[in-house]
Amino acid sequence: NDTPIADLLALHVAHAHRFALCLAQCRTVEAFCTCAEPAAQRAAMIVAFLRAVHNVVASQNLWEAGRVLGRQLAALWPRVGFRLLAPHLRRLLAAAEGGSKGAQRAAREFRRDLRTLGWL
């Protein structure tokens, strides 16, 4: 492909910003909170949501998308942060420190989730 990397990066940044605006307009964070209420679905929903957000905001170039989604999370922080993310992060930290078979995986997921929240 003859397209310069700078052009591809510019397209990616524009796409991520538009996608973040779509997520905000469709109230995706609120839908995530509602879907994650049942305990049986909570872990899977949190992991899926954080991976999706990570793909949209995890770069210095994607600060605009991070700002849009960060505002959504800040507005719903009592629901998202205290009720969903805090128990999830505590569980990952305990698993990472436990030395079990899945400790490395839990530590890697814990670091990725913290980096994702840091970009917001």
For residue 1, pLDDT beyond 90? no
pTM of the predicted structure, to 2 decimals: 0.84
Average confidence (pLDDT) over 64-80: 92
- Whole-angstrom Cα distance, residue 32 to residue 88? 14
pLDDT value at position 77?
Answer: 93
Contact 74, 82 (CB under 8 A): no
pLDDT digits (tens, 9 = 90+) for 40-61: 889 999 999 999 999 999 889 9
Average confidence (pLDDT) over 78-96: 93
For residue 119, pLDDT beyond 80? yes
pLDDT value at position 101?
Answer: 81
